[in-house]
A and B are shown apart, each in its own frame.
Chain A
Amino acid sequence: MLSYAKIDEDILKSMEPPKKGWFACISIALLALAMGVYALYHQVTGGLEISGISHPIGWGVYITNFVFWIGIGHAGTLISAVLFLTRAPYRTSIYRAAEAMTVFAVMTAGLFPVIHVGRIWNAYWLVPYPNQRQLWVNFKSPLLWDVFAVSTYMSVSIAFFLVGLVPDFAVVRDRAKGLQKMLYGFLALGFRGTNHQWVHYIRGYLLFAALATPLVFSVHSIVSWDFAMSSIPGWHTTIFAPYFVAGAIFSGCAMVLTIIIPMRKIFRGFDEIVTIEHLSALAKLILFTGIIVTYAYTIEFFIAFYSGSQYERALFWFRPFGELKYFFWLMVLCNCVGPLPLWRKKIRTNLGALFVISIIVNIGMWLERFNIVVTSLAHDFVPFVWSNYHFEWGEIWITIGSFGWFFAWFFLFVKIMPSMAITELKEGLTPPMRKTKVVQLPISGSYK
């Protein structure tokens, strides 16, 4: 039975000084990161030839990774803001971890546009800044929209994340000593839990949630326009924005499951907070968005046929039957067939099955982006230059490095921040000395 004290204890227990297991985990993550940094060093000094990108496939694994990580970064804000506004009951227990995931995923995603450019040292030119040479950026370019969309999304999600943490930092501060107390006190912004503070805090949080919600839809729409605004068959289509957003939610929720399930296993006490019902609600979301994604795949093929354009038809023939067909069919298997078992409640409530399916969906969504980016470029208007993709070591190492980067941050987060929303979870409980739950407007909406 959860109580205020138990919630505090369970969650703060995760912040105890790390043991061997944690060090092992973060070492692996840092090793992976080092691989990525090493490859990047080669790439910066030697040029992009250690990646498989070529003529005519100008974008490959890096852009795939970018879209993939942005997609992952979607779920956090969706859960913390949209589900907050819609008062979804399963939000409270998972949103903190999901938000952290968002922040780190966007941090990872933000690296890739920089990594993929030919001259990293000049990447800051994409930012409009006053300069005496009167050079300006091209606001017509979807890449520039990307710069704004991603940086806005990143700043808002970091702010939203930290604002949500304020009362929890106060809890940690109250238990900490010495330097820690000072640092957490700084992060808690002097939060004392007075009525006055709560009133402002709740208002502020609501406002943030309202601000963040459109970003959930805008950022991935804009990322999709990188492709949709171009002229290449397979990219140039109006379906892309909703299709990408659905895909992002799909992969984001899967990533939340991939992270939450082991956490729940590792930190005892978390299983009481994150119940099977919460996870199965996420599974339903995956199922739903999975169906949208499947629909989008289908409609793409239909439109290619219906358009009568030989370029579109050729491309959509190429995807399932061309040289890169294995990527396509694996994607279909992962994204369209993979989530189908979730229709059954038995599987939805089985942790192992959920974990496996979440991994499958993650792989599938990476492949989806790879398919969109690479196959379209490999097979466009001029048959003379049609080509195939050759993976090279650099991009693989950098991809591994990006996972290292992401998880290193996540492991740090687990140890220095409360990975569940302490105050909001408490709101969900019946206050001590009372018989009914609070009905008035809480931070995270009412339970049932």
Chain B
Amino acid sequence: MEQKNLKRRDFFKIAATSGAAVALASCKPDAVEKILPDIFPPDNYRIGNPLYFASVCRECPMQCGIVVKTREARAIKIEGNPHHPTNQGKLCAIGQSSLQTLYNPSRIKKAIIQGKESSFSEAQNALFTKITDLVAQNKADEILIFHSGGDSTLQRMLTRITDSIGAEALAVNFSSASSIKRANNILFDKNEVPDYNLDKVDFLLNFGADFLESWLNPLKHSREFTEFRAYKKRKKGEYIHIAPHLSITGVSADEWISCPVKAETAIALSLLQAVAKKSSLLTTSQKNYILNYTKNFSISSVAKNYGIDAKKLQQIVKKLQAKRSLVIGGGNVNANGNQTNLQVAIGLLNYLIGAEKNGALAFGADYQLGDGNFRQISTALKKAKQGKYQLVLLVDINADYMLGNASNWKQIYKKTSVVSLSLAHNETTQNADIVLPITSSFEDWGDSFVRKGIYGLQQPVMAKLPNYDAKSTGDIFLELGKKLSLGAEFTNSKTFLDYLKTSWKNIQSQLGVVGSFASFWKKSLQKGGVFQNYQTTPANLQADRLGSPARGSKTKGLSLVALNSNIQNSTGNTGDKYWLLEIPHPMTQVVWDSWLEIHPKKAKELGITHADELAVSTKEGTVKLAAYIYDFIDENTVAMPAGLGRTINFPNYSSRQGILAPFSKDDRKNLISKKIGVSPFDLLPFGFDEAGEHNFFTEDIQIKKTGEKFFLVTTDGQYKDDLKALAKNAPAGYGDRSQKDRHLIQSVGVKELNSGKIKQEGHHLKQRHYTTNTQNVADFYKERKKNVQENIFGIQGHKTPKYYDPYKFEMSIDLNKCTGCSACVVACYAENNIAVVGKERQAVGREMSWLRIERYIDKDKKTGKPKALLAPQMCQQCGNAGCEAVCPVYATYHNPDGLNAQIYNRCVGTRYCANNCIYKQRRFNWRTYSFPSPLHLQLNPDVSVRDKGVMEKCTFCTQRINFAKDKAKDENRVVFDGEIKTACQQTCPSDAIVFGNAVDKRSQVTRSKKDIRAYHQLEELNFQPSITYLRKVEQS
């Protein structure tokens, strides 16, 4: 066939086949991804509809139940599982960000052997050969396995393997429950963590436990705490906090008794002595044992020794006896080597005040917490140093970070081969001999038994990420079991799923659930597991085990504690998540960094001012940190955040300031590796207390100024000069971070509430009467009005443009419930595709958060002491908004539902709306921010990803509103109250946020608006905000 005779049809044929051939040739097998990477796509699936899967959160030992929302078979949002007894539908900031574990940009794509990439099977074979060789040589005891502990089928399988071959397996986790377990073992012969029920008390005494953030069971405690602190029956539960440091848990207390580190134990023992003396519950011998144990601690001597008001302690004793009370304590702030004594005192106090009788405390749950025993780990590491191990297997443990420099860990590499099973690149995978990439909890099967009666089931919600040659931990160990021929349970299971099902068959028979396994399995999958109550078992005191009198000790010099918070966890699994680094720590508002909290008086004494660079030295080393002048810390204590100091990859958004900047190399698109903050393990000794609980404390530290200013970025600007914030008010350069009489966050005393009249705070103009007409804006263009009527409002069934019918969406935020935990902030980031901008960009005011926790430090009117106030702030969806009127192109406008809608496509970017917003809630895209792969898979398809030059802000999750409205329309009804839950509201652990239709007179939000505590921020400016705040209730 000659070229010129080529017919049109022939040409197409040739073009099509050769094109297809090229396309086929260029495809590698693993690059192909299905359009819907579902594992079992449902029959009636339609693109655009979300699917929800119940699963388990793996970020901390509490292992809450979650519901994963997927769109087009990719996980895009996590919410709490409402059936799960621990979190009951709520989720914390860390849990919200576990999506970034799944889509971690540092996830390992290929297995690594000796620093070289290899196929997974090769690396796995290398590991298995090593293990089988050692087993064959009868040297299985030279295998050391570090895992994260807890109880699950996987864990049981691992134990089964290690037990049968005789390898040593140790849990590495920093849960502060070990000392509680140990104390209860001593006192009541119960090696378990009791269930603390804060909702069943009237008086709470807390020795530093940050139970709203990281201690034991934060979501459950937040929920109960809300109940306990609610204003009801003309009262509010009382809460006293005794600790050297306040975090958001501490600042929500009515009173803070500051004490040096290690003094809490002494105080607790002195209180115990006083209570025991008067107790009628004890037999004489028991009393004697207790009095003997607390011999060295009378209230007067403790008060004298540690400089504490004895009267206050006596008052506490009275309150403990008079009211339904509970004493708790623990956490990193108490992890100073003395924590078991503290827990003994707390356990006894609770016993004596009858906490168990009141239901405030219960045994029998057997929480799977605190199985990390650092005494054993220390012994193992000593052995490893001597070369007694041939293989160390790390099951998702970042040992290089967690075991730090002070332990013998890093010497291990010389003598032992280290194999790391890890999801993402971290400090350990850099050094390990073999690295096996594992899949995340969103991609594989699993379960979790966090306490008796909770059987959480974890299922894959989507197919494995393409191009990541990873395998689930369960499958790896299953194959290992087969290889070692450990029995039928291994050989009978093809995959880990089969193994899991076998295990769940046992659970079914244990629980006595009738019916087929298939239906039990299906039900469990749907509900996220099987959830039951546990049997409580009463505690009997065995005072004779108390032993010799407890001895107190005092700290030397300045003490350093490393603390967890709602966004920081000492295991370091929070230190590599963009969201958790991006959102400000609620108390300090610091982002992307570590800092050293120091009391203003101490700072003055040392000549330190705020944000000075400090060289902090301990016996373990010296690091450079920023000074943060902090009112809420003991004078002789300094604190730093735990869990930071991880090295992460982040887009290079660094500032290009300077006259020559345009000629610098532009590598904006690349990720650069950065160390974020400082690891506390660089400063802390490798220490543990008698229960084997890791210490987060060291004393006699040296602080020196380097003379430089640290590049410390905080998102609050209130220290800036102001009429009401003169330099003389600023302790050590920290500045005045008060509200400057703006009355944004208001509070009211219990007495005032009881009187039924609340004194109005604010500007005198508030009393002025305003009228505004926002109902008739379409009248402005008469000829267009007709058009609008016919085309737009005709559809709604109205003849004239009608606002607020049938919806006017409003929100109320109860400041008495809000703890400032920032879970809402992360939820907002996740739901609305908000970009993460990094430290340098935040330094020049370019953070993108639609929702922020504003923190002010005001002086208490009565005591004159500093008081921290926290409140979530987002777009107030004003009824008479400033932004709408000034937008020249109607990119923002008032929609009939009462929202300030924002049309990204129409926005030109004049930023006039942001200027005219009195709440300063609008965010501008100063550049196009990137979502490094595979983070882009997390983006919510319902929300546009904004490009440079566009204004954005909170719209009360308008995508959720529309989803519910569409559904209601299909069903020919209006939206129910509570049907729409905004992302922030949904996750709020203390239910502070209420959202709903204000036109509906019976809706929850309408009721909130009528509450006596209701107020609007900056009301005198007449923007008519849609968010009603409810005043915080103060104990007075």
Q: Would you give the shortest CB distance from B851 to chain A, in whole angstroms?
A: 13
Q: Contact at A387–B888, with CB atoms within 8 Å?
A: no
Q: Chain A residues near B950 (CB, 8 Å)?
A: 118-119
Q: In the docked arrangement, what's the CA distance between A387 and B949, Å?
A: 21
A381-408: CB near B (< 8 Å → 1, else 0) gives 1111111101011101100000000000
Inter-chain CA distance A57–B926, complex, in Å, is: 12
Known interface pairs A119-B949, A232-B916. Does A384 touch B718 (Cβ–Cβ under 8 Å)?
yes
Q: List the A side residues contacting B161 at CB < 8 Å.
A: none
Q: Whole-angstrom distance between the alpha carbons of A297 and B666 in the complex? A: 44
Q: Given the complex of chains A and B, what is the CA–CA distance between A309 and B1018 in angstroms? A: 12
List of B residues within 8 angstroms of A118 by Cβ: 907-911, 924-925, 948-951
Decide if A126 touches B787 in the complex (CB within 8 Å): no
Known: A141-B912, A377-B915, A380-B918. A229 touches B886 (CB 8 A): yes
Contact residues, B895-944 vs A (CB, 8 A): 906-912, 914-916, 918-920, 922-928
Contacts A46-B668, A314-B740, A383-B739; A390 near B844 (Cβ below 8 A): yes
Pair A318/B908 contact, Cβ less than 8 Å: no
Chain B, interface residues (CB within 8 Å), range:
35 or more
Cβ contact within 8 Å between A318 and B722: yes
Chain B residues whose CB sits within 8 angstroms of the CB of A120 once the complex forms: 949
Q: When A53-B911, A144-B888, A231-B918 are in contact, do A388 and B882 touch as well, CB less than 8 Å? A: no
The segment out of B255-263, B359-367, B654-662 that lies at the interface is B654-662
**Interface 1/0 per residue, B772-813 and A, CB below 8 Å:** 000000001100100100000000000000000000000000
User: Are the CB atoms of A56 and B845 closer together than 8 Å?
Assistant: yes
- A138–B903 Cα distance when bound, in Å, is 14
Q: Does the CB pair A117–B908 fall under 8 Å?
A: yes
- Least CB distance from A156 to B in Å reads 22
Asked if B742 and A381 make an inter-chain contact with CB atoms under 8 angstroms apart, the answer reads yes
Residues of A within 8 A of B657 (CB): 390, 392-393
Is A379 in contact with chain B by the CB < 8 A criterion?
yes
Q: Which single member of A47, A113, A321, A393 contacts B925 (CB below 8 Å)?
A: A47
Task: Tell me if B916 and A57 are in contact (CB < 8 A).
Answer: no
B877-892, CB under 8 A of A: which get 1 and which 0? 0000010011111100
CA of A140 to CA of B887 in the docked complex: distance in angstroms? 8
B920: chain A residues within 8 A (beta carbon)? 55-56, 380-382, 385
Q: Which of B717, B765, B847 has the most CB of A within 10 A?
A: B717
Interface flags, A193-235, vs B, CB<8A=1, else 0: 0000000000000000000000000000000001001111000
Residues of B within 8 A of A386 (CB): 717-718, 720, 722
Determine which of B716, B739, B914 lies in contact with A55 in the assembled complex, contact meaning CB atoms within 8 Å: B914
Does any Cβ of A come within 8 Å of B299's Cβ?
A: no
A310 to chain B, nearest CB (A): 5
- Establish whether residues B741 and A310, one from each chain, have CB atoms under 8 Å apart when the complex forms: yes
Q: Are A317 and B951 in touch, CB under 8 angstroms?
A: no
| Residues of A289-336 whose CB lies within 8 A of B | 308-311, 313-314, 317-318, 321-323
Cross-chain contact A143 with B886 (CB below 8 angstroms): yes
Q: Is B764 an interface residue (CB 8 A)?
A: yes
Within the assembled complex, what's the spacing in Å between the Cα atoms of A379 and B719? 11
Beta-carbon contact of A381 and B918 below 8 Å: yes
| B53 within 8 Å of A (CB atoms) | no
- Interface size of A in residues (CB-CB distance below 8 Å): 72
CB-defined contacts of A383 to chain B, threshold 8 Å: 717-718, 720, 722, 737-740, 742, 856
Tell me which residues across on chain A come within 8 A of B852, comparing CB atoms: 384
On whether A48 and B927 interact (CB within 8 A), knowing A59-B911, A119-B949, A386-B717, the answer reads: yes
Mark contacts of A43-55 with chain B using CB atoms, 8 A cut-off: 1 yes-contact digit, 0 otherwise: 0001111101111
Name the CB-closest residue of A to B1020: A309
A314 touches B724 (CB 8 A): yes
Q: How far is the CA of A386 from the CA of B906 in the complex (A)?
A: 29
Contact B908 A119 (CB under 8 A): yes
Q: Which residue of B lies closest to A315 (CB)?
A: B723
Q: Which of B721, B852, B887 has its CB near the most chain A CB atoms (within 10 A)? A: B721
Given contacts A48-B949, A56-B845, A390-B844, contact A384 B854 (CB under 8 A): yes
Q: Does A267 touch B at the CB level, under 8 Å? A: no
Cross-interface CB contact of A49 among B765, B784, B841, cutoff 8 Å: B841
| A413 within 8 Å of B (CB atoms) | no
Indicate if the CB atoms of A382 and B919 lie closer than 8 Å: yes
Query: Complex formed: what's the CA distance from A318 to B720 in Å?
Result: 9
- Asked if B889 contacts A125 (CB within 8 A), the reply is yes
A132 adjacent to chain B (CB < 8 Å): no
0/1 interface trace, chain B 846-877, chain A, CB 8 Å (1 if under): 11000010111000000000000000010000
Which residue, of A123, A137, A386, has the highest number of chain B Cβ atoms within 10 A?
Answer: A386
Q: Interface residues of B: mostly helix, strand, loop or mixed?
A: loop
Residues of B within 8 A of A123 (CB): 908
- Interface assignment of A269: CB less than 8 Å from any CB of chain B: no
Nearest-Cβ distance from residue B570 to partner chain A, whole angstroms: 29
B835 to chain A, nearest CB (A): 12
A136 partner residues in chain B, CB cutoff 8 A? 781, 784, 890
List residues of chain A with CB within 8 A of the CB of B742.
Answer: 310-311, 381-383
Are A54 and B844 in contact, with the CB atoms below 8 A? Answer: yes
In the complex, how many angstroms separate the beta carbon of B728 from the nearest chain A beta carbon? 13
A118 to B914, CA, bound (A): 13
A115 to chain B, nearest CB (A): 11
Q: Which of B716, B915, B1018 is A232 in contact with, Cβ under 8 Å?
A: B915
The verdict on A147 contacting chain B, using a C-beta distance below 8 Å, is yes
**Contacts A55-B914, A118-B911, A143-B886 given; does A322 touch B919 at CB 8 Å:** no
A residues 2-47 near B (Cβ < 8 Å) are 38-39, 42, 46-47
Q: Are A47 and B720 in contact (CB under 8 A)?
A: no
**Would you call A55 and B722 a contact (CB within 8 A)?**
no
- Cross-chain contact A321 with B659 (CB below 8 angstroms): no
Q: Is the CB of B720 within 8 A of A323?
A: yes
A139 to B, closest residue via Cβ:
B780
B911 touches A58 (CB 8 A): yes
Interchain CA distance A393-B910 in the complex, whole Å: 20
Please name the residue on chain A nearest to B737 by beta carbon: A383
Shortest distance between the CB of B822 and any CB in chain A (Å): 15
Contacts of A140 in B (CB 8 A): 780, 885-886
A116 within 8 A of B: yes
Are the CB atoms of B889 and A116 closer together than 8 Å? no
Identity of the chain A residue whose Cβ is nearest the Cβ of B845 in the assembled complex: A54
Q: By CB atoms of chain B within 10 A, which of A50, A55, A144, A313 has the most?
A: A55
Q: B928 contacts A47, CB within 8 Å?
A: yes
- Supposing A138-B889, A384-B718 touch, asked if A55 and B912 sit within 8 A by C-beta, the answer is no
Q: A125 and B908 in contact (CB under 8 A), knowing A142-B886, A383-B742, A396-B659?
A: yes
Cross-chain contact A317 with B845 (CB below 8 angstroms): no
Q: CA–CA, A311 to B856, complex, Å?
A: 17
User: Distance in Å from the Cβ of B443 to the closest Cβ of chain A?
Assistant: 35
**Set of chain B residues within 8 Å of A439, measured between Cβ atoms:** none
| Contact A393–B765 (Cβ < 8 Å) | no
Q: Which residues of A contact B919 (CB under 8 A)?
A: 381-382
Interface mask (B281-324 → A, CB under 8 Å = 1, otherwise 0)? 00000000000000000000000000000000000000000000
Q: Determine whether the beta carbon of B717 is less than 8 Å from that of A384.
A: yes
Contact of A381 among B738, B922, B1021 (CB under 8 A): B1021
Query: Which residues on the B side are within 8 Å of A433 (C-beta)?
Result: none
Task: Find out whether the CB atom of A143 lies under 8 angstroms from the CB atom of B909.
Answer: no
Contacting pair A143 B720 (CB below 8 A): no
Asked if B763 lies at the interface with its beta carbon under 8 angstroms from chain A, I say yes
Complex Cα gap A230–B913 (Å): 9
What's the least CB distance linking A319 to chain B, in Å?
10
- Asked if B888 and A308 make an inter-chain contact with CB atoms under 8 angstroms apart, the answer reads no
| B911 contacts across to A, CB distance below 8 A | 53, 58-59, 116, 118
- Within 8 Å by CB of B740, from A56, A57, A144, A310, lies A310
Q: Which of B890, B925, B1023 contacts A138 (CB 8 A)?
A: B890
Tell me, in angstroms, the Cα distance from A122 to B928 when the chains sit together. Answer: 17
Known pairs A46-B948, A310-B763 / 4 extra A-B pairs, C-beta < 8 Å: A55-B845, A56-B914, A122-B908, A387-B720
User: 9 A–B contact pairs at CB < 8 A?
Assistant: A47-B948, A49-B656, A56-B914, A136-B784, A309-B763, A310-B742, A321-B721, A385-B920, A390-B657
